[in-house]
Amino acid sequence: HHSFWFAQPKNYSEGLQEDKKIRNCIKNYIQKNRKKSSNRKIESDSSSEVITHIEIQKEIDTIHVIIHIGFPNLLKKKGAIEELEKDIQKEVNSVNQRLNIVIEKVKEPYRQPNILAEYIAFQLKNRVSFRKAMKKAIELTKKADIKGVKIKIAGRLGGKEIARAECIKKGRLPLQTIRAKIDYCCYPIRTIY
């Protein structure tokens, strides 16, 4: 997690719990609003309202929350940030601290593993073949100029009786090199099978 603040040792656990409440409140807000907007026809690329990470910076009188998001369509709506601020203020109960929320769009969204995972999950929920979804995700990573990628899908693939795992790997993925920067994401979904 990305939290930047200092506290007395006796207040440290309270600060961590406050950070967790803020993160959960933001994720719940986006989940709730995504369900409302999913009733309308939406493009597959714009459906990924995925948070890559949330930075929380605390000062004496303010809490700065920076939300790094792949495609900030929902939060661009008029009044969305104010509504989110009210929800967080209600959850945290900080009367003497001001809340400042900033939305930052990720420059290359398909470099983030959780955005790719959500993209594949969206494809699978829309009954696209799992192999086609995996290949399309690898094409997106090629456009994002990633050195290597490994995608593994497990479960009842294609509605078969026996569960299995399929894996596609492209490029370099040095698992033994400690210095190599490798991002990872696990994303469970429930399909109709």
Is 65 found in the same domain as 121?
no
If DSSP codes are grouped into helix, strand and coil, which group holds residue 107? coil
Q: Looking at the structure, tell me whether residues 16 and 78 fall in a common domain.
A: yes
CATH code of the domain in which 117 resides = 3.30.1140.32
pTM of the model: 0.77
Question: Same domain for 99 and 131?
Answer: no
Both 52 and 84 in one domain: the answer is yes
- Residue 115's contacts (CB-CB under 8 Å, 6 or more residues apart) are 48, 50, 52, 70, 106, 109
Indicate if 140 and 75 belong to the same structural domain.
no
> Looking at the domain assignment, is residue 63 inside a domain?
yes
Structural domain total, the chain: 2
Where among 106, 123, 141 does a domain terminate? 106
With respect to residue 86, please indicate whether it lies within any of the assigned structural domains: yes
Residue 39: give the domain boundaries.
2-106
In order along its 193 residues, the chain shows pLDDT tens digits of: 789 999 899 999 999 999 999 999 998 888 887 766 654 433 444 445 688 889 999 998 899 999 998 877 767 777 888 888 888 888 887 767 889 988 888 888 888 898 999 899 989 988 899 999 999 999 999 888 889 999 999 999 888 889 999 999 999 999 888 898 898 999 899 888 7
